[in-house]
Structure 1
Amino acid sequence: MPKRTATKIFLLVTLAGLAQADQGANDPLGIARLRDDTTRQLTTFNLETRNKVIDVPRGKAVTVGEVKGNGYIANLWLTFPGWFWQHWNPSAPINPTILKTLILRIYWDGSDKPAVEAPMGDFFGIGLCEVKSFASQYFGMSSGGFYCKFPMPFRKGFKIEIENRDDAIDTIVFMNVLYQLTGNIPKDAGYFHAQFHTGKNEGPNPVHIAEWTARGQYVGCTLSMQGEERNYLSFLEAPEYIYIDDDWEKPRITGTGLEDYFLGGWYFREAEFAGPLHGVPVKDALTASVAMYRAHDADAIHFRERFKMDFVNPWAPERLKPFVYSSVAFAYLNTPEGQNPPTPSANELLCWYRLRDRDHQSIP
């Protein structure tokens, strides 16, 4: 057989195999397959009193609910007031900082260390104390609602808690968490984790995104940044440095720029966009504000023992200017116990230089 023909046949067979594997992975009939799962929903709605919400007073942490069993969370949705004008309660205080001071926590399998711990705004994609509609495959803000569709397995149960660190606003929360009880959670299915970081940066310091000691896979992050000086976006020059297992002194994975990691370019030259797995819901050069997200699926980053991710700016320190950032990193780990740093104080959470007025005061 001629060499060129053999190569052509090999290529066709390889492509056919890849296509078949891809079809199996995506499973076009997945939504049509009948399963023996038991579908339930944890909700703040009380069927007896007809009350839709739970109260989350300032300075308090409230347990929304606990579930026992084996299964996975398939969809988490919630909303809350405080960040917009309420036509039904005109005297209610308004402050978009509630998006930063209202903290979501999720505990797996009886652990006392939350695997998920992050401010609401950051967890759902925008950490700039504002709401803007965008829809990605795994999380988003949808015209007043907040949703997350990362599958979240549990083997003994889960607990959801919300803490209000605001010093002025007592709020309420509407929440629906749809979960499936099933005996078919694979042994190799990891627990969902979300780790929050924030802080002011003088310019040259690394932007720390995540660090875990476990076996797992990193599946993405949200990152919001704001320059102290208006029209300053050079913090986007920082490529990712990803340290994995034995590659701890020198990063195993590096990139070419921060906006490049989020699959954009030239400081997101063509402005805002929202895709299924990556996007820039906010880019405002005038206020030097950017909010970005990226989710990894087939390109998840795997680690056996430990993982660390930073963004490090290669420019000379004298060329760089101060900025502030906040981020939430997502991963699946082989442990239900969280490895999150202590939640910052309200003052540390609200370290932003300026907030945009995004309340349109519309009446539904």
Structure 2
Amino acid sequence: MKSSIYRTLLLAVLMLVPAVPVSSSPRTVNYHSLINNLCDVGSLAVCDGSRVVQFSSWDRSGGNIDRGHFLSGDGKKAAVLADVKGSGAMVRFWSANPSGVICIYLDGKSDPIIKCSMRDYFLRRMPQPIAGRSSGGYISYEPVPFSKSCRVVVYGAGYLYYQINMRIYPAGTKVRPYRAGDIHRYSRIINKAASVWRGERSVSQNGYLRLGAEGRREWRRRTFVAPAGGKAVIFNVSGAGCIEKLSLTVKRGSLDKCMLRAYWDKQGKPAVFVPALSLFGAAGSKENAKSLLTSAEGTDYAARFAMPFARYARVEIVNYDSSPLAVRVDVTSFRFSKLAGGVGRFCASFRMAATKPGVPFEALNIRGKGRLIGLVLASHADRSSKWLEGDECIFIDGEKLPSIRGTGTEDYFNCGWMFKDGLLSRALYGVTSLDLAHSQFSAYRWHVPDPISFNRSLLVRFEHGERNTSPGITYSAAAFYYLLD
């Protein structure tokens, strides 16, 4: 019996694929490339020098009236929601209560390149789930590139809740601005991207291949047992490469009390050390959840984060349960002759703490250079509260005031009104459990078009309640990011 459990089935499929190292030459960004990037999860590992800024309706007084606040104007006539200079792209627009007419002005021109009702902007321009309704909110991930400037104005906005994310590119990046008719001109690739987000097509391999030279694809399958209180090494290779997809099928036991730990390039400390369920986007969830980067369906789990390494990779499952865990592990990876420059190492960290009066929950606090690509956040308590009123506050490179400040915890996850419509699972966001009577929820968000870059440090905090006034709630956060050596 024991020998059958430990029996190894190794299936290797080797496929030589030419890979192009990450180029240092100026690149060209346009509507076509940005639509393709919506499905390019491999390129998230490339720290390309872009940065993300956010405009939102947060209450400047520090209170909880996170609506109707604009850069200029009011909700009756013209309200300026966002105004940015440089070359970049608008990559995310969220609202809980869209109203009025939106006008988007590019590169200093007096006529808007996009003009329509706010509801049409969210519900009719792009196919679901790239845009549409969420659980109590409205979201659009349609990219709008610009070469010199972008100004977003809404006429008749009223008391609007909103968040807009702009991705700003480094000097030398050539950006072709959005042109009238692009949405129709590229309808085929838009529909293709939407089908990938719906899970009807596979994620492109191109982004992974650009992470190194002379890519050779491999597939390994093996069954492991992690004894009670012990561990199992599920991936262990030398040389340069990148894990493309890590899949687990639980044969006996449970992942509920397991952690996943990973080391890259002989690091002394693990780069990844998080609950296994969080890695698969399923923290606190009893329901199936499927996103662009993760899936948890019954006893089958998968993670599609690019996990590159230059010299060595080791991945372990640590079992803290009193019963052994038997899992079948499938790993799809690439072996490279050399890892490309500018490629970060995949990291994931975990924090858990009970909230205290006047003190926000700290989800992440790291030093180094890299980019944040996602969060899985959860909470629970023995009572109901207004804990979701708290905003996310993201401090980049030691800034005293957060350059990214939201309008409510559920708003960060593209939803609204206390997740009004219940659970959902989408490509870049989802709420996987919810019990308002016990201040309980779990949710995920992946920053695929809007990774948050930092050069020295990153601090991510979530307020609880209107002014950090919901103590005694246990929060946990798994943060996913890339760091450069």
**Bin for the TM-score computed over the shorter chain:** 0.7 to 0.9
The 1:277–1:18 alpha-carbon spacing in structure 2 relative to 1, beyond 3 Å, is farther
- Are 1:194 and 2:356 matched, yes or no? no
- Normalising by structure 1, we get a TM-score of 0.73
Which residue identity does 2:215 align to in structure 1?
D
Q: Which of 261, 279, 304 is the matching residue for 1:105?
A: 261
Measure, in 2, the Cα distance between the counterparts of 1:140 and 1:204.
Answer: 36
- Alignment-derived partner of residue 137 in structure 1: 292
- 1:42 positional shift: 3.6
The 1:288–1:16 alpha-carbon spacing in structure 2 relative to 1, beyond 3 Å, is same
Q: Which runs of 5+ in 2 are unaligned?
A: 1-107, 115-175, 194-202
- Alignment-derived partner of residue 49 in structure 1: none
Secondary structure of 2:177's aligned partner: helix
Which residue identity does 1:236 align to in structure 2?
L
The 1:246–1:142 alpha-carbon spacing in structure 2 relative to 1, beyond 3 Å, is same
The 1:177–1:265 alpha-carbon spacing in structure 2 relative to 1, beyond 3 Å, is same
Measure, in 2, the Cα distance between the counterparts of 1:111 and 1:17.
Answer: 50
- Are 1:253 and 2:401 matched, yes or no? no
- 1:314 positional shift: 5.8
Deviations 1:93-114 (A, max 9, x none): xxxxx53421101111121211
- Are 1:125 and 2:281 matched, yes or no? yes
Q: Which of 377, 382, 385 is the matching residue for 1:223?
A: 377
Measure, in 2, the Cα distance between the counterparts of 1:43 and 1:15.
Answer: 45
Measure, in 1, the Cα distance between the counterparts of 2:112 and 2:389.
Answer: 42
Question: Which gives a bigger RCO, structure 1 or 2 (Cα 8 Å, sep 6+)?
Answer: 1
Which of the two has greater strand per residue?
2
- Normalising by structure 2, we get a TM-score of 0.56
The 1:197–1:11 alpha-carbon spacing in structure 2 relative to 1, beyond 3 Å, is same
- 1:81 positional shift: 5.0
Measure, in 2, the Cα distance between the counterparts of 1:217 and 1:160.
Answer: 22
- Are 1:66 and 2:236 matched, yes or no? yes
Question: Following superposition of structure 1 onto structure 2, how do residues 15-34 of structure 1 map, counting pairs within 5 Å?
Answer: 15-16=178-179
Deviations 1:217-270 (A, max 9, x none): 0111101111221xx2522111111111130x3222211111111111111111
- Confirm or deny: 8 A CA contact 2:390 2:467 kept in the other structure: no
- 1:212 positional shift: 1.4
Q: Which of 312, 323, 331 is the matching residue for 2:481?
A: 331
Secondary structure of 1:80's aligned partner: strand
- Confirm or deny: 8 A CA contact 2:243 2:307 kept in the other structure: yes
The 1:32–1:198 alpha-carbon spacing in structure 2 relative to 1, beyond 3 Å, is closer
The 1:32–1:74 alpha-carbon spacing in structure 2 relative to 1, beyond 3 Å, is closer
- 1:179 positional shift: 0.2
Deviations 1:85-138 (A, max 9, x none): xxxxxxxxxxxxx5342110111112121111111122222322x542111000
The 1:201–1:280 alpha-carbon spacing in structure 2 relative to 1, beyond 3 Å, is same
Question: Following superposition of structure 1 onto structure 2, how do residues 43-192 of structure 1 map, counting pairs within 5 Å?
Answer: 43-44=221-222, 53-81=223-251, 98-128=254-284, 130-166=285-321, 168-183=322-337, 185-192=339-346
Q: Which of 390, 397, 403 is the matching residue for 1:238?
A: 390
- Alignment-derived partner of residue 338 in structure 1: none
Measure, in 2, the Cα distance between the counterparts of 1:170 and 1:258.
Answer: 37
Q: Which of 206, 218, 237 is the matching residue for 1:40?
A: 218
Measure, in 1, the Cα distance between the counterparts of 2:455 and 2:438.
Answer: 41
